[in-house]
Amino acid sequence: MKQILKIRFLSFFVSIFFLSSCITNRNLEYINTDNVKVESTTYDYIIQKEDLLSVQISSTTKSEYDFFNLQETSNPQLMNQNPYLYGYLVKSDGIVTLPMIGSVKAEGLSLSEIENEISQISSTYFKDPIVKVNILNFKVSVLGEVNTPGEYNIIRSNQNILHLIGKSNDLTEFANRKRIKVIRRDGVESRVIYLDLTDPRLLNNKDIYLHPQDIVYVEPLKKKFYSVKNLSSAVSVGISSITLYFLLNNR
């Protein structure tokens, strides 16, 4: 009976030894360049339907444009709860309606382009206007193998997925860095994008830049449930198993 027990234990140990997989530093790398020169692309967010725009105008005629800068006098807590009280919605026809300025075609324009458009129109009413436009409802969610999953508010519109990973306190050691799933709204439909964070060409892929309402899911490695974090852990498990085997063998 003891002999059968020893054989079974030895078989179990050998199986664990071969199935276990160490996660090396190479598995944890981002953008594996191997001394290859990589140039990143520039990105300017393109406004879409249902974006909520913050429009701020500065001018020497302050009393005439104060009604645009509602955020300066707003309750920050109330603004976080309901930003629609302080922003201007891009409607289903792609138009945003602003006080005095009227209707402006916003969909399809970058933030810098709509700033120039509003600046030109508002120069009729204000002296030397300076316009700043931002997205108020720019929130994204990250789920899966990250240390702090959740919903995050994006302040700058040119943030990419690496910035989001930083906000979520990095990926876990079990994250599959070669298969990051991004669920993105594309008009009335949604599409799924897969990104490889180890690919040096990633920085030239405009899909890495975040869009409002993106859902980022970080898949786990398939070997997660039987892998160990590092070599020292594997050695420790191996020594413990061998020690237990010899204790049983000497009984």
Tell me the sheet residues that pair with 152: 140
Q: Is 52-135 a CATH 3.30.1950.10 domain?
A: yes
Is residue 173 within 8 Å of 213, Cβ to Cβ?
no
- Per-residue model confidence (pLDDT) at position 58: 82
Predicted pLDDT of residue 39: 64
CATH H superfamily, domain 27-43+138-224: Outer membrane lipoprotein wza domain like (3.10.560.10)
Segments making up each domain of the chain, as ranges: 2-22+228-249, 27-43+138-224, 52-135
In tens digits, the chain (251 residues) has pLDDT values of 555 555 555 555 555 554 555 555 555 667 766 655 656 667 889 999 999 998 888 877 665 555 555 555 555 555 566 666 778 999 999 999 998 889 999 999 999 999 999 999 988 888 888 899 999 999 999 999 999 999 999 988 889 999 999 999 999 989 999 999 999 987 778 899 999 999 888 888 999 999 999 999 999 987 654 455 555 555 565 666 666 556 556 65
